[in-house]
């Protein structure tokens, strides 16, 4: 019989996927009432703090040994995987007509991982990998006909989401290099926190223009995205 952590691994993975898949739906409900910068800052600032609190035992163990280089890695990973990727991701959600389309196109990020891992992780390419990339690219291209007919606006949405997937994949490749040193929770916590702080100036500018009213209007959906679909997932 496999150990308990292995038995719980698959249910945890499926639960995380199910929770994360609700982000697009909740974000569509929020719409343009809050900007992508506000969304990313609130979502990942809170999630980063929650993850670091949960990983406090591991953090106490490695904390005194963290150097400027370590924090630079957290900053780089946060910039790629949160600041760039998730800001573009939330902007793309607003551009797509359907929430389901957002999720499917963003799920192309493993295709970018296959390409980028050759340069970042020194993994080899193979014909099977390139066939996967080409088939995935062909599938994504079909979403230009999201509404039943070719739409230039859909191309812009696809471009935004593919850019988000690219930066997300780059963050995954960087994480692979260092996750064993820090642990997944510590790495995700610091990366989320630093990545969110990089969006703070633009988030503050958005709030200054629109006020806090829109945030209060959508607090149930926002709370779900932050606590369930990000921190818990």
Would you give per-residue pLDDT tens digits along the chain (233 residues)?
555 544 555 676 677 778 887 888 889 889 889 999 999 999 999 999 999 999 888 888 876 678 899 999 999 999 999 999 999 999 999 988 777 778 888 888 888 998 999 999 998 888 888 888 888 888 777 766 665 555 677 788 888 999 999 999 999 999 999 998 888 889 999 999 999 999 999 999 999 988 888 899 999 999 999 888 887 76
SS3 (DSSP) at 207: helix
Q: Are 48 and 192 in contact (CB under 8 A)?
A: yes
User: Contacts for 133-139 with beta carbons within 8 Å, 24 or more apart?
Assistant: 136/108, 136/110, 136/111, 137/108, 137/111, 139/108
Interatomic CA distance for residues 222 and 29, integer angstroms: 10
Q: What pTM does this model have?
A: 0.87
Which strand (E) or helix (H) includes residue 12? helix 4-20
Q: Are 190 and 67 in contact (CB under 8 A)?
A: no
Sorted by where each begins, the domain ranges of the chain are: 36-232
Interatomic CA distance for residues 136 and 156, integer angstroms: 18
Interatomic CA distance for residues 175 and 169, integer angstroms: 10
């Amino acid at each position: 019989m496999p150990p308990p952590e292995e038995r719980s691994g698959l249910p945890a993975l499926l639960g995380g996927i199910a929770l994360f898949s609700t982000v697009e739906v909740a974000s569509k409900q929020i719409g343009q009432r809050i900007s992508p910068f506000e969304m990313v800052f609130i979502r990942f600032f809170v999630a980063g703090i929650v993850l670091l609190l949960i990983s406090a035992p591991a953090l106490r163990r490695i904390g005194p040994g963290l150097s400027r280089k370590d924090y630079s890695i957290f900053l780089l990973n946060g910039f790629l995987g949160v600041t760039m990727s998730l800001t573009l991701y939330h902007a793309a959600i607003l551009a797509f007509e359907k929430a389901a389309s957002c999720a499917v196109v963003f799920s192309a990020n493993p295709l970018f991982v296959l390409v980028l891992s050759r340069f970042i992780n020194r993994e080899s390419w193979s014909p099977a990998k390139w066939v996967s990339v080409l088939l995935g690219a062909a599938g994504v291209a079909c979403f230009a006909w999201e509404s039943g007919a070719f739409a230039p606006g859909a191309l812009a949405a696809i471009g935004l989401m593919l850019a988000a997937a690219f930066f997300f994949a780059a963050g995954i490749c960087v994480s692979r290099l260092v996750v064993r040193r820090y642990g997944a929770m510590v790495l995700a916590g610091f990366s989320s926190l630093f990545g969110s702080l990089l969006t703070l100036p633009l988030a503050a500018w958005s709030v200054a223009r629109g006020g806090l009213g829109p945030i209060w209007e959508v607090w149930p959906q926002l709370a779900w995205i932050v606590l369930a679909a990000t921190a818990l997932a």
